[in-house]
Amino acid sequence: MRFEIRSFANVGPLSWGMSPREVAFAIGVPTQASKNSNGDLVELREADMISCTYILPQKKLVEVGFSRIGGIAIFDSIDLNAEPAKRVLTELIRRDPNAVRGFDTFVFPALGLSLTGYYPELLDTKAATAFAPGQWDELIPLMKERLPKLG
């Protein structure tokens, strides 16, 4: 399944704040469901390797994650998981110079995106996530690693 990401608006047919029932109607029922370390509900759709995270107790969609082996995540004509990691990082840092890095994760607050496993490129852990406004606000101040020089 192909998902076009529009920052803070939608991820394909999904919009921030949707309920699990609305998401299931839009992209199918999950194959797994569990709680993450924050106690939020996380659903996995194995066919596309897409995860959907809902903040509890409201059960509102706040993140959509894409494994490199699953669904196609396109942001502004960039295939986040198929393109070389260096090209993706260079393009996203150019679009959001206030990007931050920490814990092997890059967060692009102005774009509503995060990337893991991109620098150095680690194919086994490479993943992209689109997130709702405010979802990363508490963690961003803790992310103090320097951005790599890619150019």
Q: What is the mean pLDDT of each run of 10 residues along the chain (151 residues)?
A: 93 97 97 94 90 94 88 91 90 94 91 90 83 92 79 62
Q: Could you tell me the maximum CA-CA distance found in the chain, to the nearest angstrom?
A: 44
Contact criterion met (CB below 8 Å) for 20 and 43: yes
pLDDT confidence of residue 151: 62
The number of CA neighbours under 13 Å toward the Cβ of 40 is: 17
pLDDT confidence of residue 95: 95
Contact criterion met (CB below 8 Å) for 101 and 147: yes
The number of CA neighbours under 13 Å toward the Cβ of 74 is: 8
What DSSP letter does each residue of 48-85 carry, written as one string? TTEEEEEETTTTEEEEEEEETTSSEEEETTEETTTS-H
147's torsion region: left (phi>0), alpha (psi -120 to 50) or beta?
Answer: beta
